[in-house]
Structure 1
Amino acid sequence: MTDGSLPADAVGTDRTAGVVESVIREMTREARREDAINLAQGIPDAGETPDAVEAAAEDAIATESQYTITWGLPDLRGAVAERYAEWKGVEYDPETEVTITTGTSEAIMSTMLALAEAGDEVIYFEPVYESYIPASQFAGATAVPLDITDSLELDYGELEAAAEDARILVLNTPMNPTGKVFSRDELERIEEIVFEHDLILVTDEIYEHIVYDEDYCSPVEVGDLADRTVVCTGMSKTFSVTGWRVGFCLAPEYLSKELRKVHDYATICAPTPLQRAGVEALSLPDSYYTDLADAYERRRDRLYEGLREAGLDPVKPDGAYYIMARYPTDEDDVEFCYRLVREAGVAAVPGSSFYTDPDAEADWVRFTFSRNESTLDEAVRRLRENRWW
C-alpha cells in the first residue's frame, strides 16, 4: 500500500484525543505472545458455563439467527424484569424499561452518550474500571475522579463538593479492581447526595452475584434511588460467557428512552441466539448463584494465599474476582507487569491503568481469580519459582 495517509493533525477529534487502547486487553495479547498464564483479563477457563445455557445457545443458532427487536428479545426482557423484581424488589416494565445491550460496556457507553452533555461533570471513584474514563470523554463530559485507593472509604465531604456541579455519578459495586462492595449505609448517604444535587446514578453491577462474607445491596434497593438510576449489568460474569456480549440495562422509562436512541444506532441488537440462551440462564435455581459465589470465594482465598507466599502484598476483596497486590520493587507498575509476563510467565494489569491521570503513581497490580483452581495453582508456582522481587 502506498503512503497516501493524511497528516497526523488532520485526523482524530477531541473526543478521542489522548485515549489509548485498553491496557487490560493489551496485557491479554502480551500473555498470548509470551505463552503466559493470563491473570490480567477476567476470562474464565473452559467448562465454566452452565451446560443448559450452552445447549440453549446451540439450539437457537439453528432457528434464531436474525435480528431481534432492537431493545431485545421480548422473552429475555420479560425474564430480566421478573428476576430483578425478585432480586432487587423493583418492578421494571420489560417493554419500556429493560434494554438488552451488546454487553455491559455498551450499556454504559450508550447511557453516557445519551445522558451526559458536553461540559457535564461525571463523578466516579478511583481506582476505576478503565471503560468509564473514555466513555465520559466520548460524551464530551468532564471526569471528576475521587480517589479512594488507600482506605476504600468514601469522603462524603469531597463527594458533596464534587456533586454541586455534576450531572452523573457512576457507581461500580462490587467494584473492579478493588473488590469493594458498597454497604447499605454508604448507599443511603449517596442517595441523599443524589437527590440533593439532582444527579443521575449509573451503576455497573456486573459482579452482583460474586460477593463474599456479606449480603449484596443494590443501589436501587435503597430509598428512591431506582427513580434516578440506570442499572448496567449482564450475563458475562455470572454465567461465564464473557464473549457472548449480552448486557441488561434497567432504568425508568424517561431514562431508558434516551439511552435506547444511542443503543439503536450503535449496535441494533445483541446476538440473537445468545439472547435466547439468556432466557435459559435466568431460569437457573437460586442455588446456582450461591454455588457460584462459594466457588469464587475458594479461588479468592487460594490466590490470596499464593500471592502472599510469592512475596507480594495482596488485599482480599469483598466482591468481584480480582485481587490488588503491591510489589516490593522500585520498578513502575507497567515495567513490573511486562517483566512479570516475560520472566515469570504470568500476566497482570498495571495499577495505573485504573486512574484518569496517566501519570498516576501506582505501586500495585491487579490479578484475576476467574480462572480454575489448577490454573491458579500453576500461576502461583511460576510466581514463586521465578520471582526477582
Structure 2
Amino acid sequence: MPKFYGRTHEIQEAPIQKLLIEVSIPKDVISLGQGVPFFGPPKEAILAASEALNKHGYKYTEDAGILSLREAIAKKLHRENHINASPDGNIMVTAGGNQAFINTLMTITNTGDSIIILSPYYFNHFMATKLVGCNPITVETDSDYIPRLEDIFEVVTPKTKAIVTISPNNPTGAVYPKHILKEINKFCSDMNIYHISDETYEHFVFGAIHQSPASFDKCLEHTISIYSFSKSFGMPGYRIGYVVFPSHLYNEMLKVQDTISICAPTPSQYAAESALNSCPSHAKSFLPTMEKVRNIFIEGLNISCVDMPITNGSFYFFIKLHTNKPSWEIAKVLIEKYGVITIPGEVFGFPYPALRLSYGNLNEREAKEGVKRLVKGLNKILG
C-alpha cells in the first residue's frame, strides 16, 4: 500500500495525546494538563442545543453562522470589547477558535509566506502555520513572557503576512499591556500586514485588564480577532467560536469556511446564542473560585528548583525548571510516579526545561493535592 506522506509529515504529533499514550496513567491521577474550565455551559445553552436537535438542528445554517447569533456577537463585541463589527461583513462563526485561526491563515497567506509567533507559543498555532505551507517565525518573549517589540520588528520580511498575539496567553498566562499591543498593532498597519489577536481567554484576568487590539482607532481594517465559547461558557465539546475580520476579507473567508466545514455545528450555534443572550457574564461568576485555586499554586510552588513568573490571565502558569533534564521525560515521571499530569515546555517551543500547569479544571481540594504531588515530584527529580 502507499506509504508516502503529505504536508502533515513534518508537523509534530498532537502533543498532549502523544504524552498520554507514552505513559501508564494512575487511576487517581490529577490533571494539570489540558486547558479546560471546571464549569459547564449555562443551563439555558444546554436547553437551546437540545431544542435545536428536536427542531432544526440537523440542517445547515448560513456559512457565516445564523444571523441572530452573529447579531448577538456584534452586540457583545460592542459592549465588552469596544469593537464596532457588522454581523453581515465582519463576523464568521466557526467550529472553535482553532478553526478560526486556520481559516484566517488560509485566507491571508500563500505557500512560503511567514507568520510571526511569540514563544512560548500555542502549539496548535505553530502546527496550523506549517499545515498551510507557511513558515512560523518564532520570537522569544522576555522573562515575564511579555513581547520584546524590537525582536519582533526586526524579523519582518516581505514574506511576513501577520504577527500573532495571544492575550491573555496560552501557555504562559501573561496579559499583554495596552501599550505593547498598540505598538504591535500600529507596526502591522505601517507594514501593511495583519495583526491576528487570539482572545480566547478574554474573560480570565486577575488584577489585570484585557485589551482588544481591534478596538484601537481605525484598527479593524488590519486586525483579525479570534474568540471562543469553549472557555468563557464552559463549552469545549460544542466546538464553537468566531472570528472578527476586515470586511474586505469576507468573501475570501467564506470560500475557506465552505470548503472546510460549510458551517459550525447547528445545535452549538443555538447554544452559543442562548449563552450570549441569557448569561453574558457566565465565566465571571466562577472567577472567585478559580482565583482561590490560582493562589494555591502561587503559594505552593514557591520552591527553589523552579522559577514561576506570576502572570495574571487565562488559567495557566509556565514554570521554568532548574535542570538540564528534558522536560518531556520529567513530565512522564511526574505522571507515572507522582500521579500528576503537566505539559512539557518543548511542545510550546520553549528552548529550556519548563512545564505548563493548567489550574482551570480544578477545585480547591484537587488543587492542593495536585500541587502537593507536583512539589514532591519536582523536589525529588530535580533535587
Do they superpose with TM above 0.5? Answer: yes
Taking a change above 3 Å as real, the CA distance of residues 111 and 32 of structure 1, as seen in their structure-2 partners, is farther
The corresponding residue for 2:235 is: 241
Cα deviation, residue 245, structure 1: 0.5
Cα deviation, residue 53, structure 1: 2.2
Q: Aligned runs of 1:1-389 on 2, under 5 Å?
A: 5-6=1-2, 8=3, 11-13=4-6, 15-27=7-19, 33-35=25-27, 36-45=29-38, 47-66=39-58, 67-165=60-158, 166-284=160-278, 287-308=281-302, 312-355=306-349, 361-373=351-363, 374-384=365-375, 386=377, 388-389=380-381
What do residues 289-323 of structure 1 show as CA deviations (whole Å, max 9, x unaligned)? 43243332222112222333696443222111111
Q: Could you tell which deviates more after superposition, 48-57 or 142-151?
A: 48-57
Uncovered stretches (5+) of structure 2, i.e. residues with no partner: none
Letter in 2 for 1:270: A
Letter in 1 for 2:13: E
For 2:154, what is the secondary structure of its paired residue? helix
Letter in 1 for 2:40: E
For 2:55, what is the secondary structure of its paired residue? coil
Q: Could you tell which deviates more after superposition, 249-258 or 22-31?
A: 22-31
Following the alignment from structure 1 to structure 2, what is the Cα–Cα distance between the partners of residues 257 and 31? 46
Letter in 2 for 1:371: N
What do residues 255-296 of structure 1 show as CA deviations (whole Å, max 9, x unaligned)? 232222111110112111111011111124565443243332
Cα deviation, residue 329, structure 1: 4.0
Q: Kindly indicate whether the alpha-carbon contact (under 8 Å) linking 1:28 and 1:40 is maintained by their aligned counterparts in 2.
A: no
Taking a change above 3 Å as real, the CA distance of residues 291 and 310 of structure 1, as seen in their structure-2 partners, is farther
Following the alignment from structure 2 to structure 1, what is the Cα–Cα distance between the partners of residues 199 and 101? 11
Following the alignment from structure 2 to structure 1, what is the Cα–Cα distance between the partners of residues 292 and 280? 19
Following the alignment from structure 2 to structure 1, what is the Cα–Cα distance between the partners of residues 57 and 95? 15
Taking a change above 3 Å as real, the CA distance of residues 20 and 191 of structure 1, as seen in their structure-2 partners, is closer
Taking a change above 3 Å as real, the CA distance of residues 223 and 24 of structure 1, as seen in their structure-2 partners, is farther
Q: Could you tell which deviates more after superposition, 295-304 or 360-369?
A: 295-304
Q: Could you tell which deviates more after superposition, 203-212 or 379-388?
A: 379-388
For 2:238, what is the secondary structure of its paired residue? coil
Cα deviation, residue 102, structure 1: 0.6
Quote the sequence identity (%): 25
Taking a change above 3 Å as real, the CA distance of residues 56 and 20 of structure 1, as seen in their structure-2 partners, is same
What do residues 13-68 of structure 1 show as CA deviations (whole Å, max 9, x unaligned)? 2x3232122212334556884332221101234x5332222222223222232222
Q: Kindly indicate whether the alpha-carbon contact (under 8 Å) linking 2:25 and 2:336 is maintained by their aligned counterparts in 1.
A: no
Letter in 2 for 1:227: E
Cα deviation, residue 328, structure 1: 3.9
Uncovered stretches (5+) of structure 1, i.e. residues with no partner: none
For 1:326, what is the secondary structure of its paired residue? strand
Following the alignment from structure 1 to structure 2, what is the Cα–Cα distance between the partners of residues 314 and 25? 25
Q: Kindly indicate whether the alpha-carbon contact (under 8 Å) linking 2:334 and 2:340 is maintained by their aligned counterparts in 1.
A: yes
Following the alignment from structure 1 to structure 2, what is the Cα–Cα distance between the partners of residues 248 and 20? 26
Taking a change above 3 Å as real, the CA distance of residues 32 and 316 of structure 1, as seen in their structure-2 partners, is farther
- How many positions carry a matched residue from both structures? 376
TM-score for both structures, normalised by structure 2: 0.91
Following the alignment from structure 2 to structure 1, what is the Cα–Cα distance between the partners of residues 247 and 177? 27
Following the alignment from structure 2 to structure 1, what is the Cα–Cα distance between the partners of residues 308 and 221? 38
Q: Kindly indicate whether the alpha-carbon contact (under 8 Å) linking 2:214 and 2:220 is maintained by their aligned counterparts in 1.
A: yes
- Cα RMSD over matched residues? 2.2
Q: Kindly indicate whether the alpha-carbon contact (under 8 Å) linking 1:97 and 1:253 is maintained by their aligned counterparts in 2.
A: yes
Instruction: Find runs of 4+ consecutive structure 1 residues off by over 6 angstroms.
Output: none
Letter in 2 for 1:236: S
What do residues 149-188 of structure 1 show as CA deviations (whole Å, max 9, x unaligned)? 5242333222222224311111111111111112111122
Taking a change above 3 Å as real, the CA distance of residues 31 and 377 of structure 1, as seen in their structure-2 partners, is farther
For 2:230, what is the secondary structure of its paired residue? coil
